[in-house]
Amino acid sequence: MANNKLIEDQYKRNSLFEKENVNYLVRVLKRFNTVPKINSINIITSIREPNLFKIVPNKSIKIGSSFLDKPVLALIYLRYGIEWQLWYKALGEDKSDIVLCDLAALEVTQIFYNLLPKEDKEKLKTLDHFLIDMIKNNTAINTESLSKYEELQGFHGLNYSNVTFKESWKPILKNLAKPTEYLLMSGGDLRLNIDEHELLNKYGCRPFPRPEAFTFASSTATSVSNYAFDKTDKVRTILIQNSLKNGLNNATLDFSELLKNNLRKSLRIKDDCQIIFSPSGTDSSLQIGAITQIITTKEITHVLVASDETGSGIATALKGRHFENTTALNYPVKQGDKIEGFRDVNLIKVPFRDENGQLKSPAQLDTEIFDAIVKTNDLGRHVVLHTMDQSKLGYQSPSKEMIDNLNTLDDLSIQIIVDGSQLRLDPIDIRQYLNKGYIVTITGSKYFTGPPYAGALIVPKSVSESINAVKNTLPNGLTQYYNHSDWPVSWLCSKSLPDGFNYGSYMRWNAAIVEMERYFKTPILYRNLGIEMFCNFVEDSIKDASFLEPLFGDETKINTYNTEDFGLRNIRTIFPFFILMNNQALTVDKVKKLYLLLNSDISDQFSASSLEIIRLAAQKCHIGQAVDVKYGNDLQSAVLRISLGARVISESWVNRDISIYFRNIEAQMNQITVIIKKIELILSNPEMLN
């Protein structure tokens, strides 16, 4: 059984492989990695029939040499052919519904075309090809008039024996006839949209693999790995097959529950702990606000620790207000307006830094948090304490001792939430929190490097039972945010939510869980040694660079808990730093400009330089985006971050070979050196920052 074979035996000295064409051809063919891999489908090229494009069902795709002279054109046609074969296989034994394969392949290829860089689309403008013309028209598939698609039969030579479009196909076509990379950027918000040149979103990453970049941006967001993308692409294929066999609703409900069970297994948590999926960490906060008000009749006060290092919309969401102008389910709303069904609540912010930008001591934070809880309790209100473990700059608060002191308060009504959104936690840490009755918020898109926008709440058994006991329903306004399948199926409170599915959220979580599973396959001894080895190197490298000033001190342990145990929460894995020029920290605007330059090929600015400098300038380096932090007491600056991500470990552990493992980690340490050298190169050309 062979996977897709691209351009077999095609490397001959013709115009396709002239020196000036090679780089462009390679760049275009890299995108072929996003095409589904289907067993036993061969791609056969033909020089004798240069204009040939033929789909041989279940066997091959034949493509002529005239297509290969135009790589973008070949890419479009091959994308169509592979997608057609995927749906043909999904039909099962009855192969009469060919029209579905034609329409699905056309729909997918049309979206695939829209996601091409502007430069590639320009290459297709003057070409006269039937399929390209259909795609460029960009018209929605019309299932009521199938005759206009009859010309597509010429690609495979099969006539429509069944020209009736079944009603059961409509939701399948609508939801699953989409490229995987499109699904990975759907069901979130506008920040997932990509630009038309580099195909990067606001977080500097792509919804498909970007192996050419050095990536240590897990404190912000990361492009999906080749491994996770392929696994998620396979899941789409399975969903299509199961939907055609059992119906879309049944197939997707099963998939949703499978994801929740797989997440429990990956994190080693009990089956009686419930999981609620959400499109983002901010959406998780909105869910917390909703859950809180259905389990208490008291007035509510949220105490938000690390309010200056959480998402910008967290406080708004906790108050039950719209935090964007569009919801993840694509409903237009007005940012700041109250969501229907939410009660008024109070919110107390406890930032990590004081008004001068200085980091507060653990003791000072403990005092502020404890005092806020005491005052709220004296008013007879229900307290929702949002603790932080860890923040975007790697801090934790409050201390275990402060939490223990809450037992001294009389008649305290409290629910503790652990913000573990970075998920720089070991499974044992999560279990300990759940055993105490804490709700834990996580994402799959930070430490575990799944695609951005994959949030979840883990609700312990005791809280889940309380939610079901009161028989209250969620605020009506949440029907614009979530589907019933996102929530535990046993809960009565979510029955009023719609029956739809957020496929983007599910696909992103699938990719994240895939990363978790392969991370935990690395034996714990080697995993911990690799983490120590890498993090020590990053720390030393930043401290050794005279133009970088670490925000962290000499002590790498950042937790406020006294322990000598190894664990992700007990070691610094996020390394923020100021960037200095002439011994002065860069302004916020210049830090953000430098961040963009780092993540770009800027070799055209150094064409007269040595080959070594040109290669350094060309290397794309993706690290954690800027966070505004004062430098001293007066200058408003920002820090960038180099962070450990799970892939540093999982992609180094190959064939259970220890020597290769440490060598692979060393190779990633060398990438850190390149990143720092590129920062220095940019600083040596300060005009680039203007």
CA distance 269 to 95: 44
Residues 225-240 have pLDDT tens digits of: 999 999 999 999 999 9
Tokens for 306? 């690390």
Cis peptide, bond prior to residue 398, ω within 30 of zero:
yes
How many residues make up the chain in this entry? 690
pTM for the complete prediction? 0.93
Report long-range pairs for 599-607 (Cβ below 8 Å, ≥24 apart). 599/200, 599/204, 599/213, 600/198, 602/682, 602/688, 605/685, 605/688, 606/681
Cα angle for residues 261, 267, 272 (degrees, 5° grid): 50
* Model confidence at 6: pLDDT above 70: no
* pLDDT classification of 24: cutoffs 50, 70, 90: low
Question: For position 93, what pLDDT does the model report?
Answer: 86
Question: For position 372, what pLDDT does the model report?
Answer: 98
231: Cβ–Cβ under 8 A, 6 or more apart, which residues?
510, 511, 514
Cβ atoms of 423 and 447 closer than 8 Å? yes
Cβ atoms of 70 and 126 closer than 8 Å? no
Question: For position 22, what pLDDT does the model report?
Answer: 65
Cβ atoms of 502 and 328 closer than 8 Å? yes
CA distance 199 to 375: 50
Q: Which helix (H) or strand (E) holds 305?
A: strand 300-305
* Model confidence at 335: pLDDT above 50: yes
Distance from the first to the final alpha carbon of the chain = 55
CA distance 651 to 688: 34
CA atoms within 13 A on the CB side of 467: 28
Cβ atoms of 388 and 395 closer than 8 Å? yes
Give me the residue spans of the domains in the chain: 1-157, 250-517, 521-689
CA distance 605 to 548: 23
* pLDDT classification of 558: cutoffs 50, 70, 90: very low
Higher pLDDT, 480 or 94: 480
Q: Which helix (H) or strand (E) holds 440?
A: strand 439-443
Residue with tokens 């039969």: 153
Nearest to 678 by CA among 633, 630, 646, 640: 640
* Model confidence at 641: pLDDT above 90: yes
CA-to-CA separations, 412 to 208, 295, 642, in angstroms, rounded: 48, 15, 41
* Model confidence at 554: pLDDT above 60: no
Amino acid identity at 398? P
Cβ atoms of 487 and 317 closer than 8 Å? no
Residues 156-194 have pLDDT tens digits of: 998 876 678 889 999 999 999 999 999 999 998 888 999
* Model confidence at 78: pLDDT above 90: yes
Exposure b/e, 44-58, CB count within 10 A at least 16 = b: bbbeeeeebbbbebe
Higher pLDDT, 556 or 253: 253
Fold category of 250-517 in CATH: Aspartate Aminotransferase; domain 2 (3.40.640)
Candidate from 187-196, 360-369, 577-586, 613-622 with smallest mean pLDDT: 187-196
Question: For position 19, what pLDDT does the model report?
Answer: 57
Helix axes 19-30, 71-90, angle to 10 degrees: 30
CA distance 256 to 234: 16
Region of 655 on the Ramachandran plot (φ > 0 left; ψ -120 to 50 alpha; else beta):
left
Strand 382-389 vs strand 300-305: parallel, antiparallel, or unpaired?
A: parallel
Residue with tokens 């963009």: 596
Q: HEC string of 499-530?
A: CCCCHHHHHHHHHHHHHHHHHCCCCHHHHHHH
631: Cβ–Cβ under 8 A, 6 or more apart, which residues?
357, 578, 585, 637
CA distance 345 to 355: 25
- How many separate helices (H) and strands (E) can be counted in the chain? 22, 17
Tokens for 162? 């069944």
CA distance 227 to 519: 12
Question: For position 2, what pLDDT does the model report?
Answer: 45
Cα angle for residues 303, 307, 308 (degrees, 5° grid): 165
Question: For position 610, what pLDDT does the model report?
Answer: 97
CA distance 120 to 643: 33
Q: Percentage of the chain with pLDDT > 90?
A: 80
Q: Percentage of the chain with pLDDT > 70?
A: 94
Residues 470-504 have pLDDT tens digits of: 888 999 999 999 999 999 988 999 999 999 999 99
* pLDDT classification of 25: cutoffs 50, 70, 90: low
CA distance 182 to 179: 5
Q: Average pLDDT in the 331-351 region?
A: 97
Q: Average pLDDT in the 617-622 region?
A: 98
Question: For position 411, what pLDDT does the model report?
Answer: 95
* pLDDT classification of 638: cutoffs 50, 70, 90: very high
DSSP H helices, 247-322, are: 248-267, 281-295, 314-318
Q: To the nearest whole number, what is the mean pLDDT of the chain?
A: 92
Helix axes 248-267, 169-176, angle to 10 degrees: 40
* Model confidence at 566: pLDDT above 80: no
Cis peptide, bond prior to residue 390, ω within 30 of zero:
yes
Residues 430-479 have pLDDT tens digits of: 999 999 999 999 999 999 999 999 999 999 999 999 998 888 899 999 99
| Sheet strands (E) in 507-563 | 548-550
Higher pLDDT, 633 or 509: 509
